[in-house]
Copies of this chain bind each other. A is one copy, B any other.
Amino acid sequence: MRVFVPFDARDPKTRLAPLLDEGERRTVARAMLRDVLAALREMSHDRCVLATEPIDCDCAVRVDERPLTPAVNDALTSVDGPAAVVMADLALATPAALGRLFDPDAGVTLAPGRGGGTNALVVRTEDFRVDYHGLSYRDHVTAAQDAGADVATVDSFRLSNDIDDPSDLVDVLVHTDGHTASALRDLDLSLALTDDGPAVTRSP
């Protein structure tokens, strides 16, 4: 199946700014993309990075400068048959977790992200369009029903954890050991217990 991985190559992960400068955010974002692509490669999927500008990687790249929603919808309509969209910041994704995304035979399969979002989806129906604005999980369920498609939902902690804020990085260091965890360690970042609980902090 063709799997699109949308990636902001210009100014990725701005909400990590309290912890990482612009160059570091770029490094960590690329490491997360590599982890997602590596997990998909193990599953022999036909991977395509949907990037805002040309990037080097070990699979196909489709460049689309537009915002996420129109870029993904155009990509989906470019494919005959089923297609999938997996966010590039799912640093906790594993082949096992992603396998559960591709298992159901539903018209639309959704992997919820925290806070009402949609972190991954598989589309096996026509006439379904994404809309990532706002409470996208709920909107995608409605859009699937409007397209006459049945909906399956994947209950996965690993796929629910898109990395947006510094606090999200805790689970990267607890639950993974891939490119992202290595990149964080190379930046002298590590787990610490703070007054606010576990956190990823810069070594002094």
Mark A residues whose CB is within 8 Å of B: 96-97, 100, 112, 114-117, 134-135, 137-138, 155-161, 167, 170-171, 174-175, 191, 193, 197-198
If A135-B198, A160-B160, A193-B135 touch, does A116 touch B155 (CB 8 Å cutoff)?
A: no
30 sample A-B contacts, Cβ–Cβ < 8 Å, listed by A number: A96-B155, A112-B171, A112-B174, A112-B175, A114-B157, A114-B161, A114-B171, A115-B170, A115-B171, A115-B197, A116-B171, A116-B191, A116-B198, A117-B198, A134-B197, A135-B170, A135-B174, A135-B193, A135-B198, A137-B174, A155-B156, A155-B157, A155-B158, A156-B156, A156-B157, A157-B157, A157-B159, A157-B160, A160-B160, A160-B161
Q: Which residues of B contact A116 (CB under 8 A)?
A: 170-171, 174, 191, 198
Give the CA-CA distance A156 to B24 in the complex, in Å: 30
- Set of chain B residues within 8 Å of A171, measured between Cβ atoms: 112, 114-116
Select A115's contact among B96, B135, B167, beta carbons within 8 Å. Answer: B167
| Chain B residues whose C-beta falls within 8 Å of the C-beta of A157 in the assembled complex | 112, 114, 155-157, 159-160
Copies of chain A in the complex: 2
Give chain B nearest CB distance to A73 CB in angstroms.
20
Residues of B within 8 A of A161 (CB): 114, 160
- Taking the closest CB of chain B, its distance from the CB of A177, in whole angstroms, is 12
User: In the complex the two chains form, what is the Cα distance from A159 to B156 in whole Å?
Assistant: 9
Q: How many Å lie between the Cα of A99 and that of B55 in the bound state? A: 43
Q: How far is the CB of A63 from chain B (nearest CB, A)?
A: 27
